[in-house]
Structure 1
Amino acid sequence: MHLPDLIADLGLILAAAGITTLIFKRIKQPLVLGYILAGLLVGPHLDFFPSVTDTKSINIWGEIGVIFLLFSLGLEFSFKKLVKVGGSASITAIVKVLFIILAGYLTGKAMGWKDMDSLFFGGILSISSTMIAIKAFEELGLKHKKFAGLVFGVLIVEDLLAILLLVLFSTLAVSQQSAGTEMVMSILKLAFFLVLWFLAGIFLIPSFLKATKKLMNDETMLVVSLALCLVMVLLADKVGFSPALGAFIMGSILAETTQAERIEHLTKSVKDLFAAVFFVSVGMLIEPAMLVKYAGPIILATVVIISGKILFTILGALLSGQPLKTAVQSGMSLAQIGEFSFIIASLGLTLKVTSDFLYPIAVAAAAITTFTSPYLIKLSEPFYNFLNRILPKKWLDGISRYSSSTEGMTTLSDWKILLRGYAFNTVIHSVIIVSIIFLASRYLQPFIANNVVNGMKSTIISLVVSFVIMAPFLWALSIRRIQKTAYSHLWLSKKFTRGPLIAIEAFRIALGVFFVGFLVYEFFDTWIAAGLALVLMVLMMFIFSRKLQSFYNKLEKRFILNLNARENQKPDILPWDTHLTELVVSPESEVVGQTLASLMIREKYGVNIAMIERGRTNIPTPGRDERLYPNDKLLLIGADDQLAAVKTILEVDIPETESEKNFPDKEMTLQKVVVNLESPVYGLSIRNAGIREKAQALVVGIERGTERILNPSSDFTFDNGDVIWIVGNNKKIKEVI
């Protein structure tokens, strides 16, 4: 039987990636660079290594990697987190993208290129790589640093800007003229679907996950999560957006659920696999001969990318009110190009408006900046310290004052509070109503006409059903009282404020009437019938106002409950919040010679000692009377902040990037065990079950229904359905539990 080329190619890719990443891990270099090198080795341009034959399929797998990587990003940075840096991220991204496009265009013209080549060149250079930044942050352990939030916010705004650039460039390429109307429509369309997807997702998906929680084991949760991701990818593609954007949206929706950490943990391996294929596929695009031929433009492009992005990102971040340190670290984290740059470059080739040399230049510049990016991120703090020393004190004080002043701009007047509330209310309910009208006219009415009744009856039924669904949202749009306190202050404070308030209320009612008329117009051809239907519907909405209010309040309560479910849940004890870390007891530490009972590390810090390695002797789950000696290696389990506190008393001097690591060679792992009626420990207390003695394991947490118990007492009795989080030897745990 002939082996399909795809399987052989995947085997070759993963083998090359495995070898190069092991080497790069050994020499302590970013793994992304290993993937790029593996792609170069198995690509079609080097003859002394086996080459991939079915590059088209590999590129498809690489696109899947983009999707899962953006899905993972959405899981880590929810909409709430993005809103917190939304203003700063938007200003930084817009300033950076606009200036880089201008710099790229001027650079292209300086080299004698055509206008379209120069414009596309600017677009290619303007968008930083989300995937490279994520991967570098993961490997350097910087995802939870302060500036990382701003960087990821900028990257998401840039992805949205990249979609707009694709629309603009496509229009310019076809019409060779300004595309202002198309740009505005594209922005409105994007905003419309972002709001709609978020509202629908938050209302439906957490409720679905809650209803099916008892059926969701790890396997089912993984399948359902990936299915939801790909469904949103299809929806995004269907309405003309980037599939990667759809994946990010679904990740952001799931990030607001109580299952977010679990989903992130389960999908990590899938993301890592496909992301590796993507980076290898990027390396395969590198053609050594083309690099030599266009060495000058490639070097110039690289200089523009690195220097321009650092400079303009710092400028944008400072304008948005960020401190100098955050601005510098963000700028040096965004000095690369990636996936969207390839898409923009390929668009020019597809539309036949750019020269053939533009794509290889983009690939080469992306490869070079991929290599330099991790090193620039590492150097960001030293570079800030350098700037802090050489910049005039007046400049530093001015930046600090500006940053502090923008942080303090939080006081809002009653008018601002009221207008913001009205704007928020109007946008949300307008999006919902328009989507209902669209779905009713495009799908509901044809379905009823083809499957239930046809003719005028189908039109009337469709209209009535649509109006009933719309009614609660129409009430909220036109009648519901918003920001009552601010409204009362304005109404009672001065008489001349009442006129604008009345005008606003009249506008709300008129907007509601307009939407009802829009709905009716979609179904009726005659103005007389449409007018009668409009009057009847408006009257019904006012007559049943109380019932609509009650029903809407229930919908809103469910939405708010789902939106805040993750914040309201009790502290989690899942394995991605706590992890195994090795710390070494310094000979100078004050803990030397003391017993674990006297140190009370578990009681004070919430950290458990899973093992003590003393020379060639291992002491699993040490007892309370065990003493600590110089150079003891402690295998600890806890959260980041807990481990950091313990590290200070142990006085361990090890690099930050090596402080977190797993130790499979010691066979100590954190794992989950579910108790059932047949479990040996069912009905026994932790002490009587003998888990510590028999399995050399430690129970660090228990889930019972919605209750979560961290560091349970030895008297705790196991019951059917309890989820035990336990650290110890995997084989021995299976023998005891």
Structure 2
Amino acid sequence: MTSHTSVLDLAIVLCVAAVISVVMRLLKQSSVVGYLLAGLVVGPYIPIPLFAEPRRVESLAEFGVLLVMFAIGLEFRVRKFVQVIPTSGLTAVLQMSFLFWCGLSVGLFLDWSTTEAVFLGAAVCISSTMVVSKLFDQRKVAPPVRKFVFGVLVIQDLAAVVLIAVVTGIASGQGLAAEQLAATLGRLTLVLVGLVVGGMLFIPRLVRLSVRLASPEILVVVVTGLCFGIAVLAEGLGYSVALGAFVAGVLVAESGEEKAVEPLVRPLRDVFAAIFFVSIGMTVDPVAAAAVLPQSLLLVGIVILAQFASVSLAGVVSGNGLSRSLAAGLSLGQIGEFSFIIGGIGISAGIVRSEFRSMLVTAAIVTAFTTPLLFARAERLGRWVGSRLPARASHLLGVYERWFEAWRRGSGSEAARSPIRRAVRVILVDSVLLVGIAMAAVITRNEAWTLVAEVFPGANDIAIWALAGAWALLAAPVVVSLLRNTDSLAGLVSRSVVTSVEAEVRPATPLLQGTYRVLVWLGVLLTVGGPVSAILRPVVGVAPAVVILAGPIVAVALSLLRGRGDIETGFRSQAERVANLLAKQVGSASQGGGATPRPIPGFDLVFGVAISPESHVVGKTLIELNLRALTGATVVAIRRSNHNVLLPTGREALQAGDVLGIAGTEEAIRKANELITSG
């Protein structure tokens, strides 16, 4: 009878999930939403004659957790992780720090305990790889956007594994005290190193042997057995089975046969992942969820808006371009599988309140609904923002983006690249040290306060300042080193960005270097300030944490406003020089051909395109053409037939006889030329 009941439960869960997920797919929504709604239908709280036993479904759902984590580990390679850091590293760090900060603040605002607030911050700082993957499978996504977004997700996945291990330690009763947390992190490091080093001795060889047998049946049994076996081993060592499954995936991937394994595991993962999400939906009481609906909607707003703001800003600062960064910000605005795993650990241990899960499920359903709706408007938003961005700012960002693209491709001399790499390495060391000091200040605050209070009995104010001064004194050498090296990096990058290969444009470059220095400063300060602010938030309160996080942004805005006149002068000087080059190209450009490409700072080519009287662009503005969004090229100067030189604002109506100075990569210029000359 028990067997029959288990089969019946599985049949009800899968059939209801299948029907609702098909409906969701027809509505162009994520199947994850369908699974969560199916859980509400078959759960114990809605009086529908389709009921599955929650405990049995929860047992089956644990398989889903293991297989999802195994699949994530299967896609994780150390080489791949290193490759995505230049593109997505800053964005992932700032996004996770800012979302953790926001989640923590929401928890404290709701009068939750610090531990509960930490769990909430950890739950909302990781996006859903499953939702984003299914979204990108259903839509045509530009390769640069796909690469950028999945780079962020790879870094998030690794951070999530660490978070799961840490919250598991907290849930086991070790708490947030200094000794316990330090012991948890130290033990976690030893366990991970032991599992990986020990597993590398035989698991990759075993997988390669299984592949050589040319039997898919044997291969899927071997890798699934490894997944469950290492998960049980991790549980025996005091960590979650999810951590063990992830490590198993990483070890199987190191065999180099992940492309053979992944198609075999995917159907199994999809089935049990569906059961996992259904089981989450079954735990939600709609009445209880309605009672915390305002808090849930607050969480939804935080997830969508904070994700969008942090990813868009960090993406632009790290040279990913405006349109790409906006699209990434809209695609990552949801929570999912890791949020439920982290929340489930806290709920099972009884250290977070029961409505925690209701809030997460409501937020997950709403954000899974909104993600495809918002992402569908990413291109339109990019065009809208681009059309309203001043031409000088658009040009500046274009130069900055091109330089980063060239840097990532390995362009440039080794003599120029080596000092930049060296400065980045030193800054990374300083950043890790500063974050470590911040963590030490937080986790030892109770013990340190006890010691200082004994020295200054009855003088709390003096004790507080003495403790703060001691930590500031300890951090001062690291901060000084960080600032000095950041200034050095800013100088190196700004000179590299605006270095000209032609003497005639070189006089304009000093006016622009300051702007790029500011952008580099912003990137470094946000990368360091984000984690430090998130770590110190429970101790120092809202105001100091906001200053740490928002201070760099305000400083950069003021610096750019103060230097706006010099930037304008620099661009106008550069536009005049480009126009002088265009004057020599008018003859050949007017015949529809291109003159000899002319390099300018940060761009591969500058190209003159003459507008004939018959051209379809006559009378249109650059905003109406939307040239940059459609082609990636930027109009940096316009030379009129009366020899006037225009620095484009985007609102000038183009005239017959105009010669446009278009800058960008060779591919971007080709597309722009086609758009202008042939429509």
TM-score for the superposition, normalised by structure 2: 0.54
Change over 3 Å in CA distance of 1:77–1:119 after alignment to 2: closer
Match of 1:388 among 386, 389, 392: 386
User: What is the CA distance between 1:256 and its match in structure 2?
Assistant: 4.5
Change over 3 Å in CA distance of 1:314–1:203 after alignment to 2: farther
Greater Cα offset, 290-299 or 346-355: 346-355
Q: Deviations over 1:59-112 (max 9, x none)?
A: 232232232223333434533222210354443222122212222333344445
The aligned amino acid for 2:241 is P
Say which SS state the counterpart of residue 332 (structure 1) adopts: helix
User: What is the CA distance between 1:342 and its match in structure 2?
Assistant: 2.7
Partners of 2:296 and 2:62 in 1: CA distance: 25
1:71 aligns to 2:70 (yes or no): yes
Question: Which residue of the partner structure matches residue 81 of structure 2?
Answer: 82
Matches within 5 A, 1:48-197: 48-53=48-53, 55-140=54-139, 145-165=143-163, 179-180=177-178, 183=181, 186-187=184-185, 189-190=187-188, 194=192, 197=195
Match of 1:314 among 308, 312, 315: 312
Partners of 2:2 and 2:234 in 1: CA distance: 37
Change over 3 Å in CA distance of 1:406–1:245 after alignment to 2: farther
Q: Deviations over 1:146-203 (max 9, x none)?
A: 3334433433433443454456667778999864555555555555555555555555
Partners of 2:243 and 2:212 in 1: CA distance: 31
Partners of 2:289 and 2:211 in 1: CA distance: 54
1:31 aligns to 2:31 (yes or no): yes
Partners of 2:400 and 2:241 in 1: CA distance: 39
Partners of 1:395 and 1:185 in 2: CA distance: 49
Q: Which has the higher helix share?
A: 2
Partners of 2:420 and 2:144 in 1: CA distance: 33
Partners of 2:153 and 2:280 in 1: CA distance: 19
Partners of 2:198 and 2:351 in 1: CA distance: 40
Matches within 5 A, 1:293-372: 293-372=291-370
Question: Which residue of the partner structure matches residue 7 of structure 2?
Answer: 7
Matches within 5 A, 1:640-719: none
CA contact under 8 A between 1:78 and 1:253: conserved in structure 2? no
The aligned amino acid for 1:342 is F
Say which SS state the counterpart of residue 320 (structure 2) adopts: coil
Change over 3 Å in CA distance of 1:174–1:61 after alignment to 2: closer
Say which SS state the counterpart of residue 272 (structure 1) adopts: helix
TM-score for the superposition, normalised by structure 1: 0.50
The aligned amino acid for 1:318 is V
Identity score, percent: 30
CA contact under 8 A between 1:127 and 1:341: conserved in structure 2? yes
CA contact under 8 A between 2:231 and 2:241: conserved in structure 1? yes
Question: Which residue of the partner structure matches residue 16 of structure 1?
Answer: 16
User: What is the CA distance between 1:311 and its match in structure 2?
Assistant: 1.2
User: What is the CA distance between 1:358 and its match in structure 2?
Assistant: 2.7
The aligned amino acid for 2:228 is L
Partners of 2:139 and 2:207 in 1: CA distance: 33
Question: Which residue of the partner structure matches residue 722 of structure 1?
Answer: none
Partners of 1:49 and 1:340 in 2: CA distance: 31
CA contact under 8 A between 1:285 and 1:363: conserved in structure 2? no
Partners of 1:351 and 1:296 in 2: CA distance: 26
CA contact under 8 A between 1:168 and 1:182: conserved in structure 2? no
Say which SS state the counterpart of residue 292 (structure 1) adopts: helix
The aligned amino acid for 2:16 is A
In the alignment, structure 2 segments of 5+ residues that lack a partner are 429-679
Q: Deviations over 1:537-556 (max 9, x none)?
A: xxxxxxxxxxxxxxxxxxxx
1:263 aligns to 2:261 (yes or no): yes
The aligned amino acid for 1:14 is L
CA contact under 8 A between 1:306 and 1:336: conserved in structure 2? yes
Partners of 2:389 and 2:333 in 1: CA distance: 22
User: What is the CA distance between 1:232 and its match in structure 2?
Assistant: 3.1
The aligned amino acid for 1:305 is V
The aligned amino acid for 1:388 is G
User: What is the CA distance between 1:239 and its match in structure 2?
Assistant: 3.9
Q: Deviations over 1:450-484 (max 9, x none)?
A: xxxxxxxxxxxxxxxxxxxxxxxxxxxxxxxxxxx
CA contact under 8 A between 1:133 and 1:333: conserved in structure 2? yes
The aligned amino acid for 1:58 is V
The aligned amino acid for 1:11 is A
Partners of 1:312 and 1:37 in 2: CA distance: 30
Matches within 5 A, 1:575-586: none
The aligned amino acid for 2:105 is L
User: What is the CA distance between 1:374 and its match in structure 2?
Assistant: 3.0
Partners of 2:172 and 2:231 in 1: CA distance: 27
User: What is the CA distance between 1:225 and its match in structure 2?
Assistant: 1.9
The aligned amino acid for 1:47 is P
Say which SS state the counterpart of residue 84 (structure 1) adopts: helix
Q: Which runs of 4+ in 1 moved over 6 A?
A: 170-177, 414-417
Say which SS state the counterpart of residue 50 (structure 1) adopts: coil
Partners of 1:10 and 1:273 in 2: CA distance: 11
Change over 3 Å in CA distance of 1:276–1:331 after alignment to 2: same
Say which SS state the counterpart of residue 85 (structure 1) adopts: helix
1:244 aligns to 2:245 (yes or no): no
User: What is the CA distance between 1:283 and its match in structure 2?
Assistant: 2.4
Question: Which residue of the partner structure matches residue 374 of structure 1?
Answer: 372
Change over 3 Å in CA distance of 1:208–1:161 after alignment to 2: closer
CA contact under 8 A between 2:205 and 2:255: conserved in structure 1? no
- Which structure is larger by alpha-carbon Rg, 1 or 2? 1
CA contact under 8 A between 1:41 and 1:49: conserved in structure 2? no
The aligned amino acid for 2:306 is G
Partners of 1:182 and 1:71 in 2: CA distance: 28
Question: Which residue of the partner structure matches residue 46 of structure 2?
Answer: 46
The aligned amino acid for 1:298 is S
Partners of 2:355 and 2:48 in 1: CA distance: 26
Change over 3 Å in CA distance of 1:14–1:178 after alignment to 2: closer
Partners of 1:3 and 1:231 in 2: CA distance: 25
CA RMSD of aligned residues (A): 3.7
Matches within 5 A, 1:188-587: 189-190=187-188, 194=192, 197-198=195-196, 201=199, 204-257=202-255, 259-407=257-405, 408=407, 411=414, 413=418
Partners of 2:8 and 2:131 in 1: CA distance: 27
Change over 3 Å in CA distance of 1:404–1:342 after alignment to 2: same
In the alignment, structure 1 segments of 5+ residues that lack a partner are 424-737
Q: Deviations over 1:221-261 (max 9, x none)?
A: 11112122223323443444443343333334433545332
The aligned amino acid for 1:22 is V
Q: Deviations over 1:512-569 (max 9, x none)?
A: xxxxxxxxxxxxxxxxxxxxxxxxxxxxxxxxxxxxxxxxxxxxxxxxxxxxxxxxxx
User: What is the CA distance between 1:50 and its match in structure 2?
Assistant: 1.3
Partners of 1:184 and 1:203 in 2: CA distance: 29
The aligned amino acid for 2:40 is L
CA contact under 8 A between 1:124 and 1:344: conserved in structure 2? yes
CA contact under 8 A between 2:207 and 2:252: conserved in structure 1? no
Partners of 2:109 and 2:211 in 1: CA distance: 61
Tell me which of the two structures has the higher relative contact order, counting C-alpha pairs closer than 8 angstroms and 6 or more residues apart. 2
User: What is the CA distance between 1:317 and its match in structure 2?
Assistant: 3.1
User: What is the CA distance between 1:305 and its match in structure 2?
Assistant: 0.9
User: What is the CA distance between 1:14 and its match in structure 2?
Assistant: 1.1
Q: Deviations over 1:240-289 (max 9, x none)?
A: 44433433333344335453322222222211211221222232233221
